[in-house]
Amino acid sequence: MDWLLDPLNYEFMRQALAAGALMGILCPIVGTYLIVQRMALLGDVVAHAVLPGLAIANFLNVPLLIGAFVSGMFGTFVTSWIRAQSKVKVDAAMAITLSCFFSLGIALLTSLRSRLDLEDLLFGDILSIAPADVWEIGFVTVAVLIAVKTFYKELLFFTFDPLGAEAIGLPVAAMNFGLMAAITLTIVASIKAVGVILVMALMVNPAAAAYLLTKELHWMMAVGVGLGVLSCLIGMYISYYLNTPSGPAIALTLFACFLAALLFSPSQGILTRSRGQAKA
């Protein structure tokens, strides 16, 4: 048991493991809605759209969370505006927004001589996470869980049938705004730990693996959370014992979980499906 307990002797590892467990809960919950709505790239758009807000907030000495949240929400608005005002498809609109905000963020970080480290923003540094950051992730996690629990039925209807939800009088615009806000808060809270790029692995991979293993939304969330927490903890231990960067170790562990689901899912797995067809 020494190999399991030894990393817990260090304060930075305890903080990192706590942050990883919280992100393993938070990110797959939000990622579930992205996967079901086939909008996974939107999370990537928001993740890159927060960069200009971080640069401006740092320059003006205002809380980074506020700047990142405003910038991320503005990125989703730009994507929706391009879709509404032209015949450009949603994937093209998201790609345009992503490249624009990412380039603007790098330009602002350079021109404003920001104290923020671009490499840390892109790839994160979970081992340097502070207790205040863990509390921030915990607060966002609790807020998102309460919101999902409170509006689960409405979100379920909206996710699978937005036109039907609008027809029966549900506040579709408000629900969409709330979902975008949850995505943005999740990304902002996770950037410190795993960075802009790797946060997408936490949002998409466990939710996608759960999508292959389950048939109901609540089970998809539960399995995604389990895979997310397990992958974060395993990735941290791999990082500790093999002396590898923690963010990539977590991301590769998440991909291993998805690959296992892709190959061995009882109903959707490549290998199990082939065997079922052969028997038939």
Residue 217 covered by a domain: yes
Whole-prediction pTM value?
0.86
Helices (H), 112-216: 118-123, 131-150, 152-160, 162-167, 172-213
Per-residue pLDDT tens, the chain, 280 aa: give them. Answer: 677 788 888 888 889 899 999 999 999 999 999 898 887 778 888 888 888 888 888 888 888 788 888 998 998 889 889 988 888 888 888 889 989 998 998 898 888 877 777 777 777 778 888 888 889 889 999 999 999 999 988 888 888 888 888 888 888 888 888 888 888 888 888 887 777 777 888 899 999 999 999 988 899 999 999 999 999 999 999 988 888 888 888 889 999 999 999 999 888 888 887 665 555 5
CA distance 172 to 227: 30
Residue pair 205/260 in contact by the 8 Å Cβ criterion: no
Residue 215: domain span: 2-265
CATH of the domain at 227: 1.10.3470.10
Furthest CA-CA distance within the chain: 66
Token readout for 35 is: 């996967």
Is residue 129 helix, strand or coil? coil
What is the predicted pLDDT for the residue at 193?
76
Residue pair 211/36 in contact by the 8 Å Cβ criterion: yes
Looking at the structure of the chain, the number of domains it has is 1
The DSSP secondary-structure symbol of 6 reads G
What is the predicted pLDDT for the residue at 141?
92
CA distance 72 to 271: 40
Residue 42 covered by a domain: yes
Contacts of 244 (CB under 8 A, 6+ apart): 238
152-162 b/e with 16+ CB inside 10 Å = b?
A: eebbbbbbeee
Residue 276 covered by a domain: no
CA distance 240 to 244: 7
Burial class (CB in 10 A: 0-12, 13-18, 19+), 90: middle
Residue 74 covered by a domain: yes
User: What DSSP element (H or E) covers 87?
Assistant: none
Residue 83 covered by a domain: yes
Residue pair 123/65 in contact by the 8 Å Cβ criterion: no
Residue 270 covered by a domain: no
List, as one string, the DSSP characters of 222-276: HHHHHHHHHHHHHHHHHHHHHT--HHHHHHHHHHHHHHHHHHH-TTT-HHHHHHH
CA angle 69, 71, 77 (to 5 degrees): 105
